Amino acid sequence: MTATTTTTGPEPSASPDLSKPVGDPPLLEVRNLTVTYGGTVPAVRGVDLRVEAGQKLGIAGESGCGKSTLALALLRLLPATAKLTGEILLDGEDVLTMKWGRLRAVRWAGASIVFQGAMHSLNAVHRVGDQIAEPILLHNAKATPAAARKRAGELLEQVGLPAARAQAYPHELSGGQRQRVMIAMALACDPRLIIADEPTTALDVMIQAQILRLIEQLVADQDVGLIMISHDLAVLADTCDRLSVMYAGRVVEEGPARQVYAEARHPYGRALSAAFPRIGDLASRRAPRGLPGDPPDPAALPGGCTFHPRCPVALDSCATEDQELREAGGERRAACVLVDAPAADDSRSTS
């Protein structure tokens, strides 16, 4: 397979458009983001991410790896005990230095989040249509309650529910329907980026597949960017273009989603992909394997490579030497000393 990089930037010979900087910034660029809770719990440590419009980035990792902290940090939705450093550039504008008024405008309209537990995130005593209408009214001073309710009905239809379900209370809906309502809410203000934090984890497999297809369809139709967070690498490989695998607050592997799933370069990526086989794999060679142990407590990280205590191929040096992300062939990067070793190179193409 030939890897060609296509750039869609301006032609070098084209006369420059002085109204904006050369080369549009990506939709989202996160640079060296750290989040520390209470001064002692480094839950996110130096994460870099990039999402273009229309692109779907998956973030994988076991529970406790810092995925939700990262998602919430992107819109500064963390508690005051969390200290953030780095840059979160949304269309080139840093979320971390935005004034509150601007931040409120960016939440929902610039980027919006779909959370895992729809039952807990929706308000039990309000009709779902009113809950979808709320951000529309909040963000558009000209919107009338009637217009916002009408839009709520349209949004429900867009996520596959009859507009009349706007009258329902959350408890009158199934888990899958509630998650559709959450997605309708996330779409309410036409965001450019949707962050979905384990959007299907609480749902059964059939409903999970429907919701994933719905999210994919919406992203394709509206040319928004998507960050999809899951512990299930197989789900992300099916849904996303690119994948970042997190361990102990860091990205330890990144690259094209299917490649990362099929032949991860970091031992943690390999363990995750073996733990979550695709349906087709179950009937064939790949048996699911668990990874012994748990991710480390961020308040007491092991020295060296934080994965070394669980790593099946760790060298002695891994107990003392930390690893940064390094080139791992093609568009891939991995934070493992063995990426450079011939033994870890067997999956790389010979071209």
- The residue ranges that bind Mg ion (CB under 5 A) are 67-68
Binding ligand ADP (rule: CB under 6 A), the pick from 12, 21, 39, 79 is 79
Binding ligand ADP (rule: CB under 6 A), the pick from 63, 167, 317, 347 is 63
Q: Which residues face 30 on adjacent strands?
A: 49, 88
Asked if 39 interacts with ligand ADP (CB under 6 A), we say: no
Asked if 41 interacts with ligand ADP (CB under 6 A), we say: yes
In the list Mg ion, ligand ADP, none, the entry touching 56 (Cβ below 5 to 8 angstroms by class) is none
- Alpha-carbon Rg for the chain, nearest whole angstrom, is 21
Element (H, E) at 44: strand 41-51
Nearest Cα to 222, choosing from 56, 88, 91, 24?
Answer: 56
Q: DSSP H helical segments within the chain, as ranges?
A: 67-74, 100-109, 118-121, 128-139, 145-158, 175-187, 205-222, 233-239, 257-262, 267-275, 279-283
Asked if 250 interacts with ligand ADP (CB under 6 A), we say: no
Pairing relationship of beta strands 93-94 and 326-327 according to DSSP bridges:
unpaired
> From edge to edge, which strands make up the β-sheet containing 225-230?
111-114, 193-197, 225-230, 56-60, 242-247, 250-256, 333-334, 326-327
C-alpha 179/C-alpha 177 separation (Å) is 5
Asked if 65 interacts with ligand ADP (CB under 6 A), we say: yes
The residues near 35 (Cβ < 8 Å, ≥ 6 apart) are 42, 43, 44, 66, 69, 70, 73, 78, 82, 83, 84, 249
Distance of closest approach, residue 142 Cβ to ligand ADP, in angstroms = 37
SS3 80: coil
Distance of closest approach, residue 232 Cβ to ligand ADP, in angstroms = 13
**Do 267 and 289 touch, CB atoms closer than 8 A?**
no
Interacting span for ligand ADP (CB under 6 A) from 37-45, 114-122, 203-211, 302-310: 37-45
Interacting span for ligand ADP (CB under 6 A) from 13-21, 26-34, 61-69, 277-285: 61-69
Asked if 69 interacts with ligand ADP (CB under 6 A), we say: yes
Asked if 43 interacts with ligand ADP (CB under 6 A), we say: yes
Asked if 45 interacts with ligand ADP (CB under 6 A), we say: no
What is 275-329 written as a DSSP string?
Answer: HS--HHHHHSS-------S-PPPGGGPPSSSTTGGG-TT--GGGGT-----EE-S
- Cα angle: 102, vertex 104, 106; to 5 degrees: 70
Nearer to Mg ion, 115 or 268 (CB): 115
Nearer to ligand ADP, 70 or 148 (CB): 70
In the list Mg ion, ligand ADP, none, the entry touching 66 (Cβ below 5 to 8 angstroms by class) is ligand ADP
Binding ligand ADP (rule: CB under 6 A), the pick from 24, 37, 52, 169 is 37
Distance of closest approach, residue 66 Cβ to Mg ion, in angstroms = 9
Binding ligand ADP (rule: CB under 6 A), the pick from 61, 129, 191, 199 is 61
Asked if 153 interacts with ligand ADP (CB under 6 A), we say: no
In the list Mg ion, ligand ADP, none, the entry touching 298 (Cβ below 5 to 8 angstroms by class) is ligand ADP
Distance of closest approach, residue 201 Cβ to Mg ion, in angstroms = 9
Asked if 248 interacts with ligand ADP (CB under 6 A), we say: no
Please report, as ranges, the residues that interact with ligand ADP according to CB under 6 A.
37-38, 41, 43, 61, 63-69, 79, 298
